[in-house]
Amino acid sequence: MKNILVPIDFSVQARYAAKVASDIARLTNAKIFLLHMLELPTGIVDPSSFGNSNNTPTTLLFLKRAHEKFEDFKKLPFFKGIEIEDSVQFHKAYDGIIDESKKQHADLIVMGSKGTSGLEEMLVGSNTEKVVRNSDIPVLVIKQDVDNFKIENIVFASNFEQKNKVAFQNILDFAAIFNARLHLLKINTIHNFETTKESSDAIRNFINEYDLGDYTLNIYNDVSIESGILNFSNVIDSDVILLNTSGRRGLAHLFTGSISEDLTNHAKLPVVTFKV
């Protein structure tokens, strides 16, 4: 891992994300790119004509204040010894984050998120949710302050369908960075019930081509997939949850749409999503 992108809106959640990114950067000797998307009120500036607009002084004032905030932000103690580059851009937040991740050849996006408390709120688009669904690189979502971020136990929850294997090697590579134990998890509910043998066979067929190192195989029954993942993760004291996402919405797409969004919204644990 060489480059980590951290979108910053100067909120407390952004600080949590930057702190975790610093721990990862220190472990992997990576560089951190801090990005603030400056969304100005409509009519103040047309970025395509920047420098020619009569409103340029107002625009420059916003830009100056953003850079001043960055100077204070970069003085936070957890950045000590980390290579940092900051950028302020005029762009819609979601589009800007995706574009910057490609420009900087980022290996990981670390984002802070407040999360939501219900289905209606969950279905309302947010920048974090959009990035989770559409980023081609892993997205780590941080919800709360984490001291000395480390990963020893990882839960990888999946339906273990063969089509989701495309991102599995990336997941193994991520676990290897931290020398973590990988807990493979399949959730059974009354709506998608399988026998233990059927679930075990699905997992073993999914992993038979890979060298997993230290791992466990787990089948867990619960009232919903989301609840099962969260409850199992709490039982084993997991440090992070890993999921696949396909960039699509819909409750029919297990672990490739809404489930990933549910968990990034509701889990207190850090959640990492990998696009398939």
Q: Which domains does the chain have, with CATH numbers?
A: 3-142 (3.40.50.620), 153-275 (3.40.50.620)
State pLDDT tens for residues 77-106.
999 999 999 988 877 777 889 999 999 999
State pLDDT tens for residues 158-172.
999 888 888 899 999
Per-residue pLDDT, averaged over 151-164, amounts to 91
What percent of the chain is helix, strand and coil (3-state, nearest 5)?
40, 20, 40
With cut-offs at 50, 70 and 90, classify the pLDDT of residue 183. Answer: very high
* Sign of the four-CA dihedral 108, 110, 115, 120: negative
pTM value? 0.85
- Indicate if the pLDDT at residue 207 is higher than 80: yes
Any idea which of 43-57, 170-184, 208-222 has the lowest mean pLDDT?
A: 43-57
Query: Are 184 and 217 contacting, i.e. CB atoms less than 8 angstroms apart?
Result: yes
* Choice between 262 and 225, residue whose per-residue pLDDT is larger: 225
CA distance 60 to 109: 28
